[in-house]
């Protein structure tokens, strides 16, 4: 059953701790993305990767880091440097990079930092 998965669905952390969000896809997609969504707001791009071992900053990369060691996986680390980390995080993948390619989204991870 092909798709894109994110885990966990809900995550709670104390301020000052780094936390890593998982994103896995078995769609054989080259491109993967991380978005952040705040209540009542649209999607903002954090990082994207067009190919293994390569990734680019999006609009709001400060305080976040990523890796792309495998085609299937694109984990996002929310570091303690991120000022307001509480948000809904969405991972997506597509065959290629650009609006032309349909993005398949995961179910999201809701991160709460207190």
Partner 1 sequence: LAKTTQPISMDSYEGQEVNITCSHNNIATNDYITWYQQFPSQGPRFIIQGYKTKVTNEVASLFIPADRKSSTLSLPRVSLSDTAVYYCLVGDNYGGATNKLIFGTGTLLAVQP
**75 vs 79 by CB, closer to partner 1:** 75
Among 38, 62, 69, 102, binds partner 1 (CB under 8 A): 102
- CA distances for 86 relative to 8, 9, 12, 58, 93, angstroms: 15, 13, 9, 18, 23
Task: Please report how close the Cβ of residue 79 comes to partner 1 at its closest, in angstroms.
Answer: 23
Q: Phi, psi at residue 107, to the nearest 5°?
A: -75, -10
CA angle 112, 40, 17 (to 5 degrees): 20
**27 vs 79 by CB, closer to partner 1:** 27
Query: Are 112 and 15 within 8 A, CB to CB?
Result: no
Is there binding between residue 110 and partner 1 (CB under 8 A)? yes
Is there binding between residue 105 and partner 1 (CB under 8 A)? yes
Query: Are 66 and 75 within 8 A, CB to CB?
Result: yes
**49 vs 82 by CB, closer to partner 1:** 49
Q: Site residues (CB under 8 A) for partner 1?
A: 33, 35, 41-45, 48, 50, 56, 88, 90, 92, 97-100, 102-108, 110
């Amino acid at each position: 059953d092909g798709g894109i998965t994110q885990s966990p669905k809900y995550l709670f952390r104390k301020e000052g701790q780094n936390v890593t969000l998982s994103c896995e896809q078995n769609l054989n997609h080259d491109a993967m993305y991380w978005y952040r969504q705040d209540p009542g707001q649209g999607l903002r791009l954090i990082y994207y990767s067009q190919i293994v071992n390569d990734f680019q900053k999006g609009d709001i990369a400060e305080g976040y880091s990523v890796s792309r060691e495998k085609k299937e996986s694109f984990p996002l680390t929310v570091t303690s440097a991120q000022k307001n980390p509480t948000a809904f995080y969405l991972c997506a993948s597509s065959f290629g990079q650009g609006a032309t390619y349909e993005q398949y989204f995961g179910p999201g991870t809701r991160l709460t930092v207190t």
